[in-house]
Amino acid sequence: MERTGCKSGHNGCSGRPGVRHMTILSGIGSSHGIVAGQIHFFNNAAKSEKARKTLDPAAENERFERARAAAVGMLGELRERAAREVGGDEAMIFDTQRMILEDLDFIDAVAKLILEDGYVAEYAVQEAGHRFARVFWRMDDAYLRERGADIVDLCNGLIRQLRGLKEQELCGARGQWVIAAHRFLPSEVIRLERGRVLAIVTSGGTRDSHASILARTMGVPAVVGVGKGLFALREGEISVVDGYSGRVFIHPDERTLKAVREQCHGPRVMIPAIE
């Protein structure tokens, strides 16, 4: 994270109170476009399940099967939405997730943790999912490594079904936002309200993730992998997201705005005047 500019009243600054340094976060431009807007943090961190035991493994396994059937139905809805909004090729992401939920090895792994080891369904799904995901995370190929995120995504959805939780909405606030998070999963990206999401910025993630692929197809500028400095920012801070260079300018000065405007032109460049 870089800082530029100077403190109020020093080194030739105007001395106006409240003048902020411009901060630059550097990452990977995973979806082209340049926009300006306010930061909104999307709290999508999954709660880690504790290794709790069940008193009735058979009933717990039935609960898992009901949640799995509901999750398969939910993936079907996401697939239809993706096909309408971004096309059939990208919609196949959710076909792959459905295949994993219907995979006998995955089902047997969860059932073993419930029926033989006596764990609750939420923990069993989490552990089985992580075991399958680790197979991909250890691969040399960057694209294949990112498929581990797809497994985590579907397991998170399955755990939400087990808890009886609704899918998280973007935010309660009105207006348009630059959405910031640790990383986005495919199901979260496809649920984003396109008229309200100006850009996506994440501390982790890669250009090869399915979330990045969906963002590109949806025409949402995105910068990923900017690091933990993202969480030093405050809700509502003004930013310029440059999906070409992979930089995010927080409290950009007029010189920076002018340079960005001069360098890029086109429908995916939206830099309004910023006070």
Quick: pLDDT tens for 76-101.
Answer: 999 999 999 888 888 888 898 899 99
- Is pTM beyond 0.85? Reply is no
- Whole-number Å distance between alpha carbons of 9 and 18: 10
Domain housing 143: 57-163
Q: Please check whether residues 92 and 139 belong to one and the same domain.
A: yes
Main-chain dihedrals φ then ψ at residue 264, nearest 5 degrees: -130, 140
Largest CA distance in the chain: 73
Q: Please check whether residues 159 and 204 belong to one and the same domain.
A: no
Main-chain dihedrals φ then ψ at residue 223, nearest 5 degrees: -130, 125
Vertex 231: Cα angle to 227 and 232 (nearest 5)? 105
Q: Please check whether residues 93 and 185 belong to one and the same domain.
A: no
Model pLDDT, residue 10 = 34
Structural domains counted in the chain: 2
Count of C-beta atoms within a 10 Å radius of residue 4: 14
Q: Is residue 75 part of a domain?
A: yes
Of residues 14 and 250, which shows the higher confidence score?
Answer: 250
Q: Is residue 52 part of a domain?
A: no
Q: Is residue 49 part of a domain?
A: no
Give buried/exposed letters for 115-134 (b at 16+ CB in 10 A, else e): beeebbbbbbbbbbbeebbe
Q: Please check whether residues 132 and 199 belong to one and the same domain.
A: no
CATH code of the domain covering residue 233 = 3.50.30.10
Question: What's the CA dihedral at 103, 82, 34, 235 to 10 degrees?
Answer: -70
**Residue 215 tokens, joined:** 């963002």
Q: Is residue 50 part of a domain?
A: no
Section 131-143 average pLDDT: 88
Q: Please check whether residues 213 and 235 belong to one and the same domain.
A: yes
- Whole-number Å distance between alpha carbons of 77 and 170: 18
Name the nearest CA neighbour of 182 among 220, 151, 211: 211
Q: Please check whether residues 153 and 180 belong to one and the same domain.
A: no
Model pLDDT, residue 270 = 59
Last residue of a domain, one of 104, 130, 163: 163
Q: Please check whether residues 157 and 238 belong to one and the same domain.
A: no
Q: Please check whether residues 208 and 237 belong to one and the same domain.
A: yes
pLDDT-derived band at 7 (thresholds 50, 70, 90) equals very low
CATH code of the domain covering residue 85 = 1.10.274.10
Count of C-beta atoms within a 10 Å radius of residue 149: 23
Lowest mean pLDDT among 178-187, 191-200, 226-235, 252-261: 252-261
Does the pLDDT value for residue 3 go beyond 70?
A: no
Q: Please check whether residues 241 and 256 belong to one and the same domain.
A: yes
- Whole-number Å distance between alpha carbons of 96 and 2: 40
Q: Is residue 275 part of a domain?
A: no
**Residue 214 tokens, joined:** 């969906």
Helices (H) and strands (E) in the chain, counts: 9, 10
Task: Write the pLDDT tens digit of every residue in 141-196.
Answer: 877 887 888 888 889 889 988 988 776 655 555 778 999 999 888 888 888 877 78
Q: Please check whether residues 184 and 147 belong to one and the same domain.
A: no
Q: Please check whether residues 92 and 150 belong to one and the same domain.
A: yes
Last residue of a domain, one of 163, 195, 219: 163
Question: What's the CA dihedral at 40, 43, 44, 45 to 10 degrees?
Answer: 140
- Whole-number Å distance between alpha carbons of 238 and 246: 17
Q: Please check whether residues 82 and 132 belong to one and the same domain.
A: yes
Count of C-beta atoms within a 10 Å radius of residue 195: 7
Section 23-37 average pLDDT: 93
Give 223-258 as a DSSP string.
EE---GGGGGS-TT-EEEEETTTTEEEES--HHHHH
User: Residue 179: beta bridge partners?
Assistant: 40, 200
pLDDT-derived band at 269 (thresholds 50, 70, 90) equals low
Last residue of a domain, one of 119, 134, 163: 163
